[in-house]
Amino acid sequence: MVMSVAAPQAKGKYAEDNIFGANNRANALAEKIGVDNVINGTVGSILDEEGQLVMLHVVQEAYKALTPKEIVAYAPIQGYPDYLEAVIDQCFGQSRPNGYIQACATSGGSGVLHHIIHNYSEWGDDILTSDWHWGAYGSMCADNGRKLREFELIDKNGRFNFENFKEHVRDMVSKQYNTVIIMNSPANNPTGFALSSADWDQVIVFLKDVVKGQDKNIILVPDVAYLDYSGEKQECRKFFKKFGNLPENIFVIVAYTCSKGFTMYGQRMGAMICVTPNKDIADEFVAINQYTSRATWSNSNSAAMKSMVNICKDPAKVAELDAERAVYFKLIKERADIFMKEAQHCGLKYLPYLSGFFITIPMTEAQRVCDELEREHIFLVPLKKGVRLAVCSVSKKKIAGLAAKIKGAVDSVGANQ
Ligand SMILES: Cc1ncc(COP(=O)(O)O)c(C=O)c1O
């Protein structure tokens, strides 16, 4: 028997997830046989066509210009006031919803999700998200004594599965005081799917109805981690307007992160941004989440906040930022287009992709297919119902021909699509 001194609730936890595991194997092989001979489609960061991790130039310059104080100072627990203004502006753009809007600095988007689970659901509650979701959601729930529950994101016609969503929400509202819904849209990880404007309208009408006249709340969490690579800057933000003028028992908390939009992944900087028609709810939001920050990681990374602020307060730098993001948005789109075209050509099915870092190929036997591909030095991420390809990190040269290789592996393993 393996020795353990962990407390009962912590026994059996295991940190290395299958994404980092496959990434580590890909890197080890690349060391041995050369990067050109390995396709690593596991990484959720933008790599350029030469395989180098991208740090936006404007962000690099902002870091270089920081003063020692900006780098090392303890920041206020809630975050610097100018950072909080900047995240609200960066997040909503011209589509700021009506209502009380407050923000708290967090440790990336992960920090937002942690605080929401911790402060807006109860021990033992279900938390709702889509069947296609980022794996960390599950660990965050389990680690806090909650259970992640899944609705079907996409119906048989490739559209948002509103019927299934409604069923789950109705059931949860009938059982729980708060129903937390994490909706990773636009640019869903792992599919690249997004709710349309009409989908959001339907969702909001339904949510209003389901808690109308009840002492129950919906905590709606748009996780917009990939927002900045999901379309034209103002166009892709229009749905935020819909979160204004909602009833008090629908509380919106946007999970915002600088990880992707500012290429600050490892700097661990994000923000939770609330929208509510009620000032008390907004004030409580700041109080309880600031408290939880103090009780977990304390204050956030000063250097990251100040780099972000120093870009955002200078319109010329914001223009540079937008232009750089547009370049990478276009690059990722070109890679995705090559893959989808070839997939259609060779009869490989993929889930409806609109934008974002990942494309998913639905199938049974995902693990076996990934094992088979690894023999050809191709590293992808096996999920429960498919395989995830990170188009953000594989060059166009390496994407070319990939669909056929995946199709070959699917056929040789005898997986169904
Ligand atoms: C769906 C989704 N939400 C949120 C995040 C937030 O990540 P971070 O905590 O690095 O900001 C990620 C990052 O991979 C993600 O994929």
Q: What is the pLDDT of residues 241-267, one digit of tens each?
A: 999 999 999 999 999 999 999 999 999
**242 and 127 co-located in one domain:** yes
Classify residue 369: in a domain, yes or no.
yes
Do 299 and 198 have their domain in common? yes
Give the residue, by CA position, lying nearest to ligand 1 atom 6: 109
182: closest CA among 230, 114, 248, 102?
Answer: 114
- Closest protein CA for atom 14 of ligand 1: 44
What is the per-residue pLDDT across 365-408, written as a single tens digit (0 to 9) for each? 999 999 999 999 999 999 999 999 999 999 999 999 999 999 99
Domain extent for 367:
8-57+318-413
So what's the pLDDT on residue 232?
94
CA of 359 to the centre of ligand 1 (A): 16
Q: Are residues 86 and 15 in the same domain?
A: no
> CATH number for the domain including 104?
3.40.640.10
Q: What ranges make up the beta strands (E) of 12-125?
A: 39-40, 100-106
Whether 116 and 42 map to the same domain: the answer is no
Residue type for 97, please?
A: P
Mean pLDDT calculated for residue range 88-92: 98
Residues 263, 295: one domain?
Answer: yes
Q: Mark which of 314, 341, 368 sits at the end of a domain.
A: 314
Question: Do 133 and 155 fall within a single domain?
Answer: yes
Asked whether residue 68 is domain-assigned, the answer is no
Average pLDDT taken over every residue of the chain: 96
Indicate whether 64 belongs to any domain. no
Ligand 1 proximal residues by C-beta, below 6 Å = 44, 108-110, 134, 184, 189, 223, 225, 257, 259, 265, 270
54-69 burial: b if 16+ Cβ within 10 Å, else e? bebebbeebbeebeee
Number of domains into which the chain is organized? 2
204 with 330, same domain? no
Beta strand 270-276 with 250-257 is: antiparallel
Pair 179, 122 in one domain = yes
Q: Record the tokens describing residue 107, joined without a space.
A: 């440790």
